[in-house]
């Protein structure tokens, strides 16, 4: 059989494409094509063919598929360490560098258990923070959270399974289903994050620690019978054994769609 063999030489095009792609690896085919055509009158189809042949196209990183979340009623536990709510917040320093905070509260006492602050808070830091709380307070029955990547990771789910902690995910785009931590985030942003200009993470941590002590030990809460979270825990946390023995309900249901901030403040 006789076949036609092309005598086309694309070496110059290959060298031009590789030169730009090596120097600017995040440039795509349209950008590389426009840069080359500023110096050479090669057809854009020819450049695109060489680009595809060299397999320079970046693969898009696929997102983890979130399973369907079932709406669960927002309930207020009647015991400590039944439900902890967790969430992330974002802010920036004076120089513009962004940082994150990982907030943990107990839904029974509204007590803030931890606010971890750093530039990056991956799943390992989340697990470490929760482990430190569990060491001196005990572990919760369940955690309520959104569908952030740190919370839906296999590492985090495996750790919670080993600890015997139930995971309660809210539906995507429904922050009212996690209203306790959302209301707390509003207070923290109003009294700390939006009230100061921070020069360093150490300054953020220092001011946050002072505010946490005030919040837990000095600030009365209307929803806690004008008691502080620590006072409420000392007064009603001791009823845990009697409640369990009497087999009384451990939750009070709240309508998340008509959530009143006075239930939290």
- Domain harbouring 258, CATH code: 3.30.420.10
Is the pLDDT score of 158 beyond 60? yes
Report residue 154 as tokens.
Answer: 């296999």
Q: Are residues 79 and 34 in the same domain?
A: no
Does 5 map to a domain? no
- What percent of the chain has pLDDT above 90? 62
Q: What is the mean pLDDT of the chain?
A: 86
* 71-104 residue pLDDT tens: 777 777 888 899 999 999 999 999 999 999 999 9
Is the pLDDT score of 6 beyond 90? no
Q: Are residues 253 and 122 in the same domain?
A: yes
The C-alpha atoms of residue 228 and residue 222 are separated, in whole angstroms, by 9
Report residue 103 as tokens.
Answer: 């907030």
Q: Are residues 114 and 144 in the same domain?
A: yes
Q: Are residues 150 and 41 in the same domain?
A: no
Asked whether 35 and 65 are in contact (CB, 8 A), the reply is no
Report residue 190 as tokens.
Answer: 């109003």
Is the pLDDT score of 70 beyond 90? no
Does 185 map to a domain? yes
Is the pLDDT score of 159 beyond 50? yes
Asked whether 85 and 180 are in contact (CB, 8 A), the reply is yes
Does 197 map to a domain? yes
Instruction: State residue 79's pLDDT score.
Output: 86
Which of 145, 179, 174 lies closest to 260 in space, CA to CA? 179
Q: Are residues 150 and 112 in the same domain?
A: yes
Q: Are residues 36 and 154 in the same domain?
A: no
How many domains would you assign to the chain?
A: 2
Q: Are residues 96 and 204 in the same domain?
A: yes
- What crossing angle do the helices spanning 44-53 and 11-23 adopt, rounded to 10°? 70
Q: Are residues 94 and 207 in the same domain?
A: yes
Does 64 map to a domain? no
Instruction: State residue 76's pLDDT score.
Output: 76
* Neighbouring residues of 247: CB distance < 8 A, sequence distance ≥ 6: none
CA angle 12, 18, 19 (to 5 degrees): 90
Residue 177 DSSP one-character state: G
The C-alpha atoms of residue 86 and residue 155 are separated, in whole angstroms, by 17
Q: How many CB atoms lie within 10 A of CB 161?
A: 11
Does 203 map to a domain? yes
Backbone angles phi and psi of 197, in degrees to 5: -105, 120
Count Cα neighbours of 121 within 13 Å in the Cβ-side half-sphere. 22
- Structural domain boundaries, residue 46: 12-53
Report residue 55 as tokens.
Answer: 């397999």
Helix (H) or strand (E) holding 254: strand 251-254
Asked whether 76 and 108 are in contact (CB, 8 A), the reply is yes
Q: Are residues 24 and 149 in the same domain?
A: no
The C-alpha atoms of residue 137 and residue 131 are separated, in whole angstroms, by 10
Does 241 map to a domain? yes
Q: Are residues 107 and 213 in the same domain?
A: yes
Is the pLDDT score of 178 beyond 90? no
Q: Are residues 41 and 104 in the same domain?
A: no
Q: Are residues 84 and 48 in the same domain?
A: no
Instruction: State residue 175's pLDDT score.
Output: 85
* 188-203 residue pLDDT tens: 999 999 999 999 999 9
End-to-end alpha carbon distance in the chain: 86
Report residue 193 as tokens.
Answer: 């994050």
């Amino acid at each position: 059989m006789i076949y036609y063999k092309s005598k086309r030489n694309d070496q110059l095009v290959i060298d031009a494409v590789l030169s730009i792609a090596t120097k600017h690896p995040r440039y795509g085919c349209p950008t590389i094509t426009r840069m080359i055509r500023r110096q050479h009158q090669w057809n854009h189809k020819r450049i695109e063919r060489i680009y595809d042949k060299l397999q320079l196209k970046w693969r898009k990183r696929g997102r983890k598929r979130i399973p369907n979340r079932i709406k669960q009623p927002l309930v207020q536990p009647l015991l400590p360490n039944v439900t902890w709510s967790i969430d992330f917040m974002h802010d920036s320093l004076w120089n513009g560098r962004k940082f994150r905070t990982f907030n943990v509260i107990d839904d029974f006492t509204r007590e803030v258990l931890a606010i971890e602050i750093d530039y990056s808070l991956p799943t390992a830091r989340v697990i470490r923070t929760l482990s430190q709380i569990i060491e001196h307070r005990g572990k919760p029955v369940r955690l309520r959270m959104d569908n952030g990547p740190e919370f839906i990771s296999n590492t985090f789910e495996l750790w919670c399974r080993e600890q015997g902690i139930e995971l309660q995910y809210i539906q995507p785009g429904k922050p009212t289903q996690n209203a306790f931590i959302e209301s707390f985030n509003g207070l923290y942003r109003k009294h700390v994050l939006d009230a100061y200009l921070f020069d360093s993470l150490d300054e953020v941590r220092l001011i946050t620690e002072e505010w946490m002590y005030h919040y837990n030990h000095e600030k009365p809460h209307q929803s806690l019978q004008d008691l502080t979270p620590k006072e409420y825990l000392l007064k009603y946390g001791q009823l845990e054994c009697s409640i369990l023995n009497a087999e009384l309900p451990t939750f009070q249901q709240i309508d998340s769609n008509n959530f009143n901030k006075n239930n939290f403040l």
